[in-house]
Chain A
Amino acid sequence: MSANALKGVRNAAMLIAGLLVAWQALYWFVGDAALRPPLATFRYTLNLVTSEAFWPHLSETMRAFAVALAIAVSVGLATGFWLGSHKLSSQVFEPMLVAVYSIPKITLYPILLLAFGLGMPAKIAFGAIHGIVPVALFTINAVRNVRPILIKTGRVHGLSATEMVRAVLFPAALPEIFTGFRVGFSLTLIGTLLGEMFAAQRGLGYLLMTAIGLHNVDLIMAVTLLLITFAAAVSSVLLAIDRRLHRRI
């Protein structure tokens, strides 16, 4: 176990080192107009995160993301459990979900802006619609694939419908649901940032868009670095949990 963990840390360190080398090499190749070298970026990022002006943007994005994710997960789970355990409704609604999944969500953004106006609610809604569908689709499959014998076992122990969901369906489906959560997490983050990039006055997405407008390469690089680091760190934690959950099956 600890030998494995050590190996994991070593692999991660090697990956990061490799990425940094590639980054530096790319910088030498394309030059100052489009890129900054790693060291300069780190220095700039440090300055950025210690500056007063940065925190409102970060907190805005994080709040929007947290609420969007909470909505995506709760609506996705509820939809998933409902459709996963009702054959008829799933025959009707599942194809719709798949269709929604494949639409580029950006085409819905103007409608959302009209409905919610500029600002927090529109961002949250845009983030959430990215996450709901994958969470729902994974949950549907997870619930549907619960072995019938486990449900029968629940029944012979006299479980009510809610107890069945809590004590049998949910834990049995959890590994698969968690995979859905992982995908939902990434997509909700993308959705929230996209929302900020096109219609907002605050947030990391807005900051990035302004930086692009001003051709502030340092700022672009710094914000991108922060976002990538955040996404990669959370994703690897989620992936580790995911693997652990799947090991018991």
Chain B
Amino acid sequence: MSQASAHVSLRGVTKTFPSAAGGELHALGPVDLDLRRGEFLAVVGPSGCGKSTLLELIAGLSPPTAGTIEFEGRRIAGDIPDGIGVVFQEDACFPWLSVEANVAFGLRKSAIEPAAKTKRVREVIELMGLTDFAKSYPAQLSGGMRQRVCIARTLVKEPRLILLDEPFGALDQQTRLLMGDEVLKLWRQTGATVFLITHALDEAAMLADRIAVMSARPGRLIDAVETNWPRERDSRIVERPEFGVITARLWKSLREESLKTIGRAK
């Protein structure tokens, strides 16, 4: 994969934070990674290994300490590029806006006319199963529903690159599988590139074209697994024998790293 044709391209990306003790905390990298245009990439790694940090770097929310990140051939250096949609790990709904208004917030900057805007907002709300709650406020919703609001707010923009940080973390297993199907459908329809962080190995194996495995902090890529799934697929893919093989391989790569994380926590 050459750098020029990649949709997103990371070279030697490193991030350190000033630590509380006055020293430096090496959170991430160096990471080299290319995302193909339209690819569905999942990232798995032990807790605290720098997954969210990696996502924020790609989103342009903070500059890398070293290395370069390119999106559509343009370098991202702490500015927010157009065409990227982000769903954060935390609940990021605006509590003072109704569900509808939260979703419409995603279209603040787009030039489409009000009627088309309303229509699109309604469609995305329906897609996320929130139609009955369009007029509700986030405080009246469950955690999983709030996360769906945030996903809707991102999808309504029709971004070319979608960054998802454990978006289904607050959902139960069944809803997760169904939401996974929805994301797959959207991904096929829009042709967007998807970067999905998850801690669920089965979710990664089910959804992604490729799964990047990260080491314990400072996070580096230690494995990349191609799933070779067909583009037309849904959650029933878990019945296939390859699914077990992929999940097993992921766990093999991760077990050692996860043990390190737990050992450190003690």
Q: Are A158 and B109 in contact (CB under 8 A)?
A: yes
Contact with B along A9-32 (1 / 0, CB 8 A): 000000000000000000000000
Q: Name the residue in A157, A174, A249 with the highest tally of chain B Cβ atoms < 10 Å from its Cβ.
A: A157
- When the two chains form the complex, which single residue of B84, B88, B91, B139 contacts A248, counting CB atoms closer than 8 Å? B139
B105 interface residue (CB < 8 Å to A): yes
Q: Are A248 and B95 in contact (CB under 8 A)?
A: yes
- When the two chains form the complex, which single residue of A152, A168, A172 contacts B61, counting CB atoms closer than 8 Å? A152
B187 interface residue (CB < 8 Å to A): no
Report A-chain residues with C-beta under 8 Å of the C-beta of B97: 171
Contact with B along A173-201 (1 / 0, CB 8 A): 01000000000000000000000000000
- When the two chains form the complex, which single residue of B80, B91, B137 contacts A156, counting CB atoms closer than 8 Å? B80
**Contacts known (A149-B90, A152-B92); A249 close to B109, Cβ less than 8 A:** no
Number of interface residues of B (CB under 8 A): 23
Report B-chain residues with C-beta under 8 Å of the C-beta of A155: 61, 80
Report A-chain residues with C-beta under 8 Å of the C-beta of B61: 152, 155-156
Number of interface residues of A (CB under 8 A): 18
Contact with A along B70-104 (1 / 0, CB 8 A): 00000000001010111010111011110000000
Q: Are B96 and A157 in contact (CB under 8 A)?
A: no
A247 interface residue (CB < 8 Å to B): yes
Closest-CB distance, B8 to chain A (whole angstroms): 15
**Contacts known (A149-B92, A150-B92); A248 close to B137, Cβ less than 8 A:** yes
Bound Cα distance A168, B94 (Å): 8
Report A-chain residues with C-beta under 8 Å of the C-beta of B59: 156
- When the two chains form the complex, which single residue of A150, A153, A156, A159 contacts B84, counting CB atoms closer than 8 Å? A156
Q: Are A167 and B108 in contact (CB under 8 A)?
A: yes
B144 interface residue (CB < 8 Å to A): no
Interchain pairs with CB closer than 8 A, number: 48
Bound Cα distance A1, B96 (Å): 20
Q: Are B82 and A158 in contact (CB under 8 A)?
A: yes
Report A-chain residues with C-beta under 8 Å of the C-beta of B91: 149
Q: Are B80 and A172 in contact (CB under 8 A)?
A: no
- When the two chains form the complex, which single residue of A147, A159, A249 contacts B139, counting CB atoms closer than 8 Å? A249
B106 interface residue (CB < 8 Å to A): yes
Report A-chain residues with C-beta under 8 Å of the C-beta of B86: 156
Q: Give the residues from 113 to 155 in chain A that come closer than 8 angstroms, CB to CB, to chain B.
A: 147, 149-150, 152-153, 155
Bound Cα distance A246, B160 (Å): 37
Closest-CB distance, A166 to chain B (whole angstroms): 11
Report B-chain residues with C-beta under 8 Å of the C-beta of A153: 88, 92, 94
Report B-chain residues with C-beta under 8 Å of the C-beta of A159: 108
Report B-chain residues with C-beta under 8 Å of the C-beta of A167: 105, 108
Report A-chain residues with C-beta under 8 Å of the C-beta of B109: 157-158
Closest-CB distance, A238 to chain B (whole angstroms): 18
Closest-CB distance, B62 to chain A (whole angstroms): 10
Q: Are B92 and A171 in contact (CB under 8 A)?
A: no
Bound Cα distance A247, B85 (Å): 30
Q: Give the residues from 51 to 72 in chain B that come closer than 8 angstroms, CB to CB, to chain A.
A: 56, 59, 61
Closest-CB distance, B72 to chain A (whole angstroms): 16
Q: Are B94 and A149 in contact (CB under 8 A)?
A: no
What are 29 A-B contacts with C-beta separation under 8 Å?
A147-B90, A149-B91, A149-B92, A150-B94, A152-B61, A152-B88, A152-B92, A153-B88, A153-B94, A156-B59, A156-B61, A156-B80, A156-B84, A156-B85, A157-B106, A157-B109, A158-B109, A167-B108, A168-B94, A171-B94, A171-B96, A171-B97, A172-B96, A174-B96, A247-B139, A248-B95, A248-B96, A248-B137, A249-B139
Name 15 extra pairs, CB < 8 A, besides A149-B91, A174-B96.
Answer: A149-B90, A150-B92, A152-B56, A156-B61, A156-B85, A157-B106, A157-B108, A157-B109, A158-B109, A159-B108, A167-B108, A247-B139, A248-B137, A248-B138, A249-B95
Identify the B interface with A (CB < 8 A).
Answer: 56, 59, 61, 80, 82, 84-86, 88, 90-92, 94-97, 105-106, 108-109, 137-139
